[in-house]
């Protein structure tokens, strides 16, 4: 019974993932929102919306702050692991 539940659960996950991939826009599709609307909005409105001094700083610190925080966390953990391995006796 337990194996059957695991198989059913994995099948449901597989179906969800396949449907998600099928619904994704093709790479390089000019009708994709991320290829036309998002960069245009960043360039036109970022300085006014964020008050940053330049567009790159506004994107990194305001629009993508959580992503940047995650990347910094990964780098910090990797650095801490490397240092702890080097200091191990």
DSSP H/E element including 27: none
Q: Does 77 map to a domain?
A: yes
Number of domains in the chain: 1
Domain ranges, residue 72: 55-89
Q: Does 74 map to a domain?
A: yes
Cα angle 73, 33, 56; round to 5: 45
Q: Does 45 map to a domain?
A: no
**Residues 27-72: tens digit of each pLDDT:** 877 777 777 788 888 888 888 888 888 888 888 888 888 888 899 9
Band (pLDDT 50/70/90 cuts) for residue 89 is low
Q: Does 78 map to a domain?
A: yes
- Cα 83 from Cα 71, distance rounded (Å): 18
Q: Does 86 map to a domain?
A: yes
Q: Does 3 map to a domain?
A: no
- Cα 40 from Cα 56, distance rounded (Å): 13
Decide: pTM greater than 0.75.
no
Band (pLDDT 50/70/90 cuts) for residue 5 is very high
pLDDT of residue 65: 85
- Cα 73 from Cα 68, distance rounded (Å): 9
Residue pair 47/58 in contact (Cβ under 8 Å)? The answer is yes
């Amino acid at each position: 019974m337990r194996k059957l539940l695991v198989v059913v659960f994995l099948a449901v996950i597989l179906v969800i993932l396949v449907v998600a991939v099928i619904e994704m826009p093709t790479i390089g599709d000019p009708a994709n929102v991320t290829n036309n609307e998002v960069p245009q909005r960043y360039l036109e409105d970022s300085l006014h919306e964020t008050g940053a001094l330049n567009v790159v700083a506004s994107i990194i610190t305001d629009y993508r702050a959580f992503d940047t925080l995650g990347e910094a966390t990964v780098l910090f953990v990797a650095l801490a692991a490397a240092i702890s391995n080097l200091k191990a006796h």
